[in-house]
Amino acid sequence: MSAIDSLLERLYTSGLSHDAGDHERWNRCLNITPETGQFLDILVRETKPTRILELGTSNGYSTIWLARAAKSVGATIDTVDMLPSKTEAARQNLAEAGLLDVVTLHTATVDEFLASFDDQSADFIFLDSDRGQYVTWWPELLRVLKFGTLVVDNASSHPEEVAELRELIRERRNLDAVVLPIGKGELVVRMR
């Protein structure tokens, strides 16, 4: 097992026990599952994006999965979380993984973060943040995404909370979408 695999295993286990405690929602780690991490790894290696955005860094667990694959295809990642404590934890974990060179961490709201990107400046977006705001963020996500891939976590665990977003996706003729039964349900959207 590689050092990064051991770190991922340790982070996932400690995240689960942390989240079992009594914490405010956003103070939890709320990590993707290892299967989702493996899926993101394969998807990045196969689609070979150049610029990845991640909305919802938390402690960097999913960022590490993305960053290892990104490094292998020469891509970079910009990831955002509104909580400085989370960005700092992610920085330490990415440093331990030796992956900080391909990742830029942002402490900001998703609104501020997306507004700072040019039109069509990203070709892979992983969305794992405040589901109540996905519909509000949708126009900006469409503006920033260049013919590429959008992955949304929790499509099966919280179907009602992503239903409106899925409806907006269905309305667009240049988008193909499917929900895969991996982890908490991964909604994969491909822009033609």
Spatial CA neighbour of 190 closest among 173, 132, 182: 173
Q: Which helix (H) or strand (E) holds 52?
A: strand 51-55
Nearer Cβ to ligand SAM, position 129 or 149? 129
How far apart CA 161 and CA 7 sit, in angstroms, is: 31
Q: How far is the CB of 129 from ligand SAM (least distance, A)?
A: 4
Q: Which stretches within the chain are classed as H helix?
A: 3-20, 34-47, 61-73, 84-97, 110-115, 134-144, 159-170
Q: Which is nearer to ligand SAM, 128 or 186 (CB)?
A: 128
Q: Closer CB to ligand SAM, residue 31 or residue 149?
A: 31
**At its nearest, how many Å lie between ligand SAM and the CB of residue 109?**
4
Q: Site residues (CB under 6 A) for ligand SAM?
A: 26, 30-32, 56, 58, 61-62, 80-83, 86, 109-110, 128-130, 133
Minimum Å gap between C-beta 174 and ligand SAM is 27
